[in-house]
Structure 1
Amino acid sequence: MPALESMTLLVAAVIVHDRTTDRILLLQRGPRSAFAPGRWDLPTGKSEPGEPVTETAVRELREETGLTVGPDSLRAVHLVHGSQRPTAPNGFLTVVFAAHEWAGEPENREPEKHAQVRWFDAAALPGNLVPSNARALRAYLDGNGPGLSLHGWDG
C-alpha cells in the first residue's frame, strides 16, 4: 500500500442526461451527510482498490440510484482535481462521465446517505449543487468538451 502522503483519492461521478426531455438526474445529500449535507450532487463515489474508474461509475450509479449502465456507455466529459483532504493529502481526482443510455427507473437506494433522487430540467438546475461537480456539469451542458476544473487549491 502506498504511503499516505502520496495518495490521491480517485472518484467517479455520472451525469445521467435524458436528452429526449433534457433532464439531469441529481441526488440530494441527506441532512446528516458527512459531506455537503442538503446539497444536490451527481451520483458520485470513491474507487475501490484495483477497480477501474469506469467500473466505479457503474457501481456507484447502481448503488445510489438503481440505474444500470455498461462501462462502454460512459463518456468521459470532465476532470476535477480537488485539494487535499485528511484521507487524500494529494487531493482527489474526479472523473466525470456522461451517460445517455441506462436501464431501470431511478430510486433512492441509499436513504441513509441521500434525502432524495430527482430529475431536473437542464435549464433549471438547483442553486445548491456541490461546487466541484457543479462546475463539471455546467461545462458539460455548455458543450465545452472535456475539461479540467481545479477545486479548493487557491486557499
Structure 2
Amino acid sequence: MPERYRSIIDVHVILERGNEILLLERQGTGYCDGMLHLPSGHLDEGEPVTEGAAREAYEEVGVRIDPTDLRLATVVHHRQRTDLARVGMFFATAHWDGEPYNAEPHKCGKLLWCDPTVLPSNTIDYPAAGINAYLTGTPLALHDW
C-alpha cells in the first residue's frame, strides 16, 4: 500500500499598516538571498497554524500577535520541485504589539514596508502568489503546478 501523501506546512504573516505590508529581504540563508518574502516559516510538530504564524512573526520581526487576531487570507498549494510540494497558510492582521525590527539579522538584510498592489520585482514568486490571492480574495491558489 502506498504511503499517505504528506506536505510541509508553511505559515506566512501579512502585517498590514495602512496600504502597506511588511516584507523582509533574505540574506545568508542559501535560499533566494537578496529577494523579498513575508515573515514566515515552517509549522512545528503539534503546533496550531495560528500559533505557528504568531511565533514566526515574533522570531523574525519581534512583534507579538495574539493568534486570535490573525485571519486566514488564503491558502497556496505550492509546488517547489516536482518531488516537493508545500501548503502555505497566509494570515493577515493589522494588530500586534511592538514595532517591527530585524530580529534575525543573520537571515535578513532589511525590512521594507511595500504597497502590495505593486510588489518589488525581487519578491519571491511563492509569497507573491499568496499576496495576490489575499488582494483578490481568492481563498485557494495553486502555484507552479
TM-score by length of 1: 0.84
* 2: CA distance, partners of 1:124 / 1:95: 22
* Cα pair distance change 1:110/1:70, threshold 3 Å: same
The runs of 4+ residues in structure 1 deviating greater than 6 Å are: none
Contact map agreement 1:82 1:151 (CA 8 A) in 2: yes
CA-to-partner distance for each residue in 1:85-133, whole Å, 9 max, x for gaps? 59xx551101000011111011111111111112123444311111011
Q: 1:14 is matched by which residue type in structure 2? A: V
Aligned to 1:8: 7
Q: 2:30 is matched by which residue type in structure 1? A: A
Unaligned runs of 5+ in 1: none
Aligned to 1:52: 48
* 2: CA distance, partners of 1:110 / 1:6: 33
RMSD: 2.1
SS in 1 for 2:53: helix
State how many pairs are aligned.
Answer: 144
Deviation at 1:33, TM superposition (A): 2.1
Deviation at 1:36, TM superposition (A): 1.3
Unaligned runs of 5+ in 2: none
Contact map agreement 1:78 1:140 (CA 8 A) in 2: yes
Contact map agreement 2:129 2:143 (CA 8 A) in 1: no
Contact map agreement 1:76 1:146 (CA 8 A) in 2: no
Query: Which shows bigger deviation, 53-62 or 125-134?
Result: 125-134
TM-score by length of 2: 0.89
Q: How many percent identity over aligned positions?
A: 38
Q: 1:65 is matched by which residue type in structure 2? A: V
Contact map agreement 1:136 1:149 (CA 8 A) in 2: yes
